[in-house]
Amino acid sequence: EPEVTQTPSHQVTQMGQEVILRCVPISNHLYFYWYRQILGQKVEFLVSFYNNEISEKSEIFDDQFSVERPDGSNFTLKIRSTKLEDSAMYFCASSESVGDDSPLHFGNGTRLTVT
């Protein structure tokens, strides 16, 4: 069964450094998302992306975050200057379309640790 893949599985970085988290969504999906989950807490929406632009973003997704689809298969989340509180699991998801009959399919996540 097709799946969303994310790399790396674990990233450790120092505060203030830039990180790029990578995702390969399911190939026929058109809508892409980033969610994050701070340890022990619920999954929180960050951003959705369609047709090479951001569709929606939450208040968590501030100016230090950006997303890009650099080619036909990858979808990336960049954090420009990481803070300690950015430590979390970051999940990429994709869906075939929006609306009914189009649930989100998640990758296994990247655990980001900011020291």
Partner 1 sequence: GQQLNQSPQSMFIQEGEDVSMNCTSSSIFNTWLWYKQDPGEGPVLLIALYKAGELTSNGRLTAQFGITRKDSFLNISASIPSDVGIYFCAGSQPGDNYGQNFVFGPGTRLSVLP
Q: Which residues bind partner 1 (CB under 8 A)?
A: 4, 6, 31, 33, 35, 41-45, 48, 50, 55-56, 58, 91, 95, 98-109, 111
For residue 72, the minimal CB distance to partner 1 (Å) is: 21
For residue 39, the minimal CB distance to partner 1 (Å) is: 11
In this complex, which beta carbon is closest to partner 1, that of residue 7 or of residue 41?
41
Burial of 67 (0-12, 13-18, 19+ CB in 10 A): buried
**For residue 34, what are the contacts with CB-CB under 8 A and spacing of at least 6?**
21, 23, 46, 47, 67, 77, 90, 91, 92, 93
Contact (CB, 8 A) for 6 and 92:
yes
For residue 16, the minimal CB distance to partner 1 (Å) is: 27
In this complex, which beta carbon is closest to partner 1, that of residue 105 or of residue 112?
105
In this complex, which beta carbon is closest to partner 1, that of residue 63 or of residue 101?
101
